[in-house]
Structure 1
């Protein structure tokens, strides 16, 4: 396998191309049913997008989205994105999202929304800090029980990300509190294996600040595989913090990479009224 082939990104339309997407989706998420080809064909013909990433002529990544409407606003719902395991951590996801923004704008969309697991910090850094999305809603057990290896054993909690592709917010975002002393909303200890364990949650403080940090593990899947109970504890304590502060009008605006070997920090920003 040649990983040095140039990576190209393009729109997909034909049954053959969308069949390749279905096959790649089956490979990436072996325990889930892929989107049927007849469904993805209909989506592409009716305002949706399927975008492919290629190494030479080989499909190695995809992004799939369809039109959404909440009774007031029309938006693009970014449902899934997958990268072949051999090609991950190469920036392909960001390339797919930037092409998605370009094509969505061409179709007249002003907003893209999607969900992701807030404990998957690679996705968090891309979605919030690099792309400029924001989160104002935390959805508990969004998809119910999911059997695949990434989700099995835990509630499928999700952030709802809003990406304003028509405004200035869809740009890389710096942490406005970088270098300052910022309150941490979860106290963390390190266990004998070197994994972070969440302890006390801080909810009832009247912080006289505009920025708060929520610590999260930067290797959540490793923690979950070694100690499911600690993984569940992270899920429930972060759920408690995010649901509380988002209900008070705070917004998740970035993920700050920490100098610590085991933690990153979500940045909560107070809305100005």
Structure 2
């Protein structure tokens, strides 16, 4: 099915984005005066349409740190009736084309590390990487997806000019031989959980860390279902994944992919030594 993507610039167009944003998340939208000012000063708002209906958007603004600029991709939303149809990927690729035209080298954004679908899009399809973990990034959030848990986020780095992205490079297969798979089990409700001994991570991983082997970290396939049914288990996943990824990142590892398990209650993040990647951060 054909969907048109275009840059949104007028007050009327940005007002339509507000309506869609509110419908998706059931929360107050970004003020039009802010988005309008942003897109006039190096930012962007892309919309994707089905016929004449706005069904998705992608919004970003300029960031600047350590003397270098980048595009901060703040929000991407798809109307619930059109989700899981690949429209998010189409918007991100259009965003990349726009960013290249504007002279950006890097696009960043954040997502919940326990949302496996988002992880698959960001790391497998777009070939972003993650090596930064932000605890409780937005404080307490009231929307349905985030309410109740610390709003931890992974920061995605999308180095849009590099071979890792352009050529969709993956590290040589040899790097994946004999990876360490962290153990998980099922509880009485058939929900997956991580054993408490993952807190002994430095001891368990010593050989793999010293040899810089790949490490596979499990996350739930259906985190929102766990959260709605067993909040204490959802919090347990949040805190253990927080600990595991912070240790990994401190050791110079990055998340580079999501290994899907068909009909399994878990998916695996693929973590490797960041030096093995064809990216730059200088």
Same fold (TM over 0.5): yes
Q: Is the 8 A contact 2:163 2:169 kept in 1?
A: no
Q: Give the match for residue 157 of structure 2.
A: 162
Give 1:258 shift.
Answer: 1.6
Structure 1 portions without partners, runs of 5+: none
Q: How far apart in 1 are the matches of 2:123 and 2:71?
A: 17
Q: How far apart in 1 are the matches of 2:256 and 2:64?
A: 24
Q: Is the 8 A contact 1:130 1:173 kept in 2?
A: no
1:245 to 243, 248, 252: 248
Q: How far apart in 1 are the matches of 2:177 and 2:39?
A: 47
Q: How far apart in 1 are the matches of 2:243 and 2:232?
A: 16
Q: Give deviations 1:184-218, integer Å, cap 9, x for gaps.
A: 23x21112222101113151131134210000001
Q: Is the 8 A contact 1:213 1:265 kept in 2?
A: yes
Q: Give deviations 1:96-126, integer Å, cap 9, x for gaps.
A: 0000000011011111011110111111011
Q: Is the 8 A contact 1:175 1:267 kept in 2?
A: no
Q: How far apart in 1 are the matches of 2:130 and 2:170?
A: 16
- Find the residue that maps to 1:203 and give its secondary structure: helix
Give 1:71 shift.
Answer: 3.2
Give 1:57 shift.
Answer: 0.4
Q: Is the 8 A contact 2:131 2:155 kept in 1?
A: yes
> Relative to structure 1, is the Cα distance of residues 174 and 26 closer, same or farther in structure 2, using a 3 angstrom cutoff?
same
Task: Name whichever of 200-209 and 263-272 sits farther off.
Answer: 200-209
Task: Name whichever of 44-53 and 253-262 sits farther off.
Answer: 253-262
Q: Give the match for residue 116 of structure 1.
A: 111
- Paired residues for 1:84-233 under 5 Å: 84-171=79-166, 172=168, 174=170, 180-185=177-182, 187-199=183-195, 200-201=197-198, 202-204=200-202, 205-206=205-206, 207=208, 208-233=211-236
TM-score when scaled to structure 2? Answer: 0.90
- Find the residue that maps to 2:84 and give its secondary structure: coil
Q: How far apart in 1 are the matches of 2:259 and 2:101?
A: 32
Q: How far apart in 1 are the matches of 2:8 and 2:34?
A: 14
Q: Is the 8 A contact 2:48 2:91 kept in 1?
A: yes
Structure 2 portions without partners, runs of 5+: 277-282
Q: Is the 8 A contact 2:73 2:108 kept in 1?
A: yes
1:257 to 248, 256, 260: 260
> Relative to structure 1, is the Cα distance of residues 263 and 176 closer, same or farther in structure 2, using a 3 angstrom cutoff?
farther
Give 1:24 shift.
Answer: 0.3
Q: Give the match for residue 21 of structure 2.
A: 25
Q: How far apart in 2 are the matches of 1:149 and 1:221?
A: 10
Task: Name whichever of 165-174 and 148-157 sits farther off.
Answer: 165-174
Q: How many residues align?
A: 267
Structure (1/2) with the larger helix percentage: 2
